[in-house]
Amino acid sequence: MAHRPVIACLLGLAALLGAADAQARVVYRCVRNGTVSLATAPEPGSKCVAKTIPDDAAKVPNLWGEMGMINGTLYEREQDGKTVYGTRNLPGSKVYLKFTVQTPPGSPAHEGLGKIGKPQLKIFAKEFKAAAKATGVDDAWLRAFAHAESGFDAKAVSPKGALGVMQLMPEVAKEYGVKDPFSSAESISAGARHIKQLKRRYKDDLVLVAAAYNAGIGAVARYKGVPPYAETQAYVIKVQALHDRYLTAMGRKETPAK
């Protein structure tokens, strides 16, 4: 097997190896302990999903996911009497080649629909007060997120599928028992409970809470901080600015101690 199809497929972020004259190849996307690898056969100990890839670079999908720049190694080993290749160093593997690839731009994050502007203290005042009282999350936090997320638009829908005032992704809304994501009361209540959990996880670090709210806990864990997604980095700055503005509008210089 030649290096050429290996490198071509890696650059396409999908297949690893296949016969040079093949019309299609099967690639396995394997996940173990939150890490992704690609292989020409199912990896023992990993959860693998087979993907049939046409031998046409123009049609090759991104099986890695949005993971930024990847510096990796392609390994060769014997499995069930056959030579197989994969990006995870399993027992019996030997280095086949080194590679560097850039996954496509973008992320699971959604860009906030709200713009930085004057604080809005009157809109949904009852709902924010109730959510703050129920969760212990300061009103300035809740309003900063709602402002950044939707600009307080209860009917807002982002291109990535986030809904309502707090722009909850469907899976998050489901987790918090939201029946109507366009209900301002339900959205704000669920958003407050979600922020409470994030505050607890990140020890009240607004930067990490904002990053996780936007890009997800997994992305923050993967990058050990704010992910290198342009959307998320801009979002964090926006939330920080809005939080400061709401504290000032409420006559406070800092968030009350717990």
Domain limits, the chain: 3-102, 125-249
SS3 214: helix
Q: Is the pLDDT of residue 120 over 90?
A: yes
Q: Is the pLDDT of residue 254 over 70?
A: no
- Residue 28: burial class (beta carbons within 10 Å; 0-12, 13-18, 19+): buried
pLDDT digits (tens, 9 = 90+) for 27-64: 888 888 767 788 888 999 888 888 776 654 344 455 55
Nearest CA to 190 among 198, 90, 61, 54?
Answer: 198
The CATH fold of domain 125-249:
Lysozyme (1.10.530)
SS3 154: coil
Catalytic position from the list 149, 175, 186, 254: 149
At 210 the pLDDT is: 95
The single-letter DSSP state of residue 45 is: T
149 is catalytic: yes
Amino acid identity, position 59: K
At 253 the pLDDT is: 65
Q: Is the pLDDT of residue 11 over 80?
A: no
Rounded Cα distance, 184 and 38, in Å: 43
Percentage of the chain surpassing pLDDT 90? Answer: 45
Q: Is the pLDDT of residue 10 over 80?
A: no
- Contact predicate 184/124, CB 8 Å: yes
- Residue bearing tokens 């690839």: 101
